[in-house]
A and B are shown apart, each in its own frame.
Chain A
Amino acid sequence: MFHKVLTNCFIHSINCSQRVHFLSKQRLLWSSNAGHNAVNTVISRCLSSTPSAVTSHTVVDTFRTNQSDPRLHSTQHLAMYYTIPADIATKLFVLGGFSGQQQRAFKTFRETTLMVRRPALEVMDYLRRAHYNRPVNRYVLYGPIGSGKTFTANHVLHYGFEEKFVLLYCPNPTDWVQYPEETSQSSYKGQRMDTPIDAAVWLQLFRTHNNHLLDELDLRASKQYVWSQREITEPGDPLKNILEHGISRIKHSSDCMAVILKEIKEQSVSGKYRVLVVVDKANAFYESSKIKYPDRSLVDIDNITIARAFKKLFTNDWTNGAVVATVDKKLVVPYRIHKVSRPFKAKAKSRASDNWGPFTVSHISDLPHDLLTNTGFKHFDPFIPIEVPIYDDKEMESCLNYYNDRKWIQRPIAKTVEGRNEIKFLSAFNPLETYEICCGL
Chain B
Amino acid sequence: MAFIYGSIHCLLKSGAKIGSPIKTCAVGLSQWSPQFAEPVLETLRLEEMQESGELHELAFKPIKARQSSHSCSLFYDNLLNRFISKAHLKGEKTMMRDLMRQAFGVMKGIQMDKCNAQDMDKEHIQCDPLVIFHTAIANCRPMIITRPIKRGGATYQVPYPLKVKESEDMAMRWIIHAVRDRPKPRKTFFPEVMAKELIDAFYNEGKVVKKKQDVHRVCDANRAYAHYRWG
Which A residues form the contact surface with B (CB < 8 A)?
104-105, 107-108, 110, 338-342, 407-408, 410-414, 418-419, 422, 426, 436-437, 439-441
Q: Which of B26-34, B126-134, B140-148, B179-187 contacts A (4 or more CB under 8 A)?
A: B126-134
Whether the pair A414, B75 counts as a contact (CB closer than 8 A) is yes
Whether the pair B75, A422 counts as a contact (CB closer than 8 A) is yes
Q: Does B83 contact A (CB under 8 A)?
A: no
Whether the pair A342, B75 counts as a contact (CB closer than 8 A) is no
Contacts A/B (CB < 8 Å), 27 sampled: A107-B113, A108-B112, A108-B113, A338-B98, A338-B99, A339-B94, A340-B94, A340-B95, A341-B92, A341-B93, A341-B94, A407-B112, A407-B127, A411-B130, A414-B75, A418-B44, A419-B74, A422-B73, A422-B74, A436-B102, A439-B101, A439-B108, A440-B100, A440-B102, A440-B129, A441-B75, A441-B104
Point out the residues of chain A lying under 8 angstroms from B112, CB to CB. 108, 407
Whether the pair A418, B74 counts as a contact (CB closer than 8 A) is yes
Least CB separation from B112: chain A residue = A108
Whether the pair A341, B104 counts as a contact (CB closer than 8 A) is no
Whether the pair B92, A104 counts as a contact (CB closer than 8 A) is no
Point out the residues of chain A lying under 8 angstroms from B105, CB to CB. 436, 439-440
Least CB separation from B73: chain A residue = A422
Which B residues form the contact surface with A (CB < 8 A)?
44, 73-75, 91-95, 97-102, 104-105, 108-109, 112-113, 115-116, 127-130
Least CB separation from B132: chain A residue = A410
Whether the pair A411, B75 counts as a contact (CB closer than 8 A) is yes
- The 10 A-B residue pairs with the shortest CB-CB distance, nearest first, are A439-B105, A440-B101, A341-B94, A410-B128, A440-B104, A339-B94, A108-B109, A339-B98, A338-B95, A422-B74
Whether the pair B130, A107 counts as a contact (CB closer than 8 A) is no
| Chain B nearest CB, measured from A105 CB (Å) | 8
Given contacts A108-B113, A439-B108, contact A411 B101 (CB under 8 A): no
Rounded to whole angstroms, the CA-CA distance of A104 and B106 in the bound complex is 9
A342: contacting residue among B73, B92, B116, B127, CB under 8 A: B92
Given contacts A339-B95, A340-B92, A407-B127, contact A439 B104 (CB under 8 A): yes
Rounded to whole angstroms, the CA-CA distance of A325 and B17 in the bound complex is 66
Point out the residues of chain B lying under 8 angstroms from A408, CB to CB. 108
Point out the residues of chain A lying under 8 angstroms from B94, CB to CB. 339-341
Point out the residues of chain A lying under 8 angstroms from B44, CB to CB. 418
Least CB separation from B44: chain A residue = A418
Point out the residues of chain B lying under 8 angstroms from A439, CB to CB. 101-102, 104-105, 108
Interface centre among B95, B115, B127 (most CB of A within 10 A): B95
Rounded to whole angstroms, the CA-CA distance of A340 and B89 in the bound complex is 11
| Chain A nearest CB, measured from B66 CB (Å) | 17
Point out the residues of chain A lying under 8 angstroms from B102, CB to CB. 436, 439-440
Point out the residues of chain A lying under 8 angstroms from B104, CB to CB. 439-441
| Chain A nearest CB, measured from B6 CB (Å) | 40
Q: A105-B109, A341-B92, A436-B101 known; 20 other A-B pairs, CB under 8 Å?
A: A338-B98, A340-B92, A341-B94, A342-B91, A342-B92, A407-B127, A410-B128, A411-B75, A411-B128, A411-B129, A411-B130, A412-B128, A413-B74, A418-B74, A436-B105, A439-B101, A439-B102, A439-B104, A440-B101, A440-B129
| Chain A nearest CB, measured from B116 CB (Å) | 6
Least CB separation from A412: chain B residue = B128
A410: contacting residue among B97, B116, B127, CB under 8 A: B127
Least CB separation from B128: chain A residue = A410
Rounded to whole angstroms, the CA-CA distance of A419 and B109 in the bound complex is 21
| Chain A nearest CB, measured from B89 CB (Å) | 11
Rounded to whole angstroms, the CA-CA distance of A413 and B93 in the bound complex is 24
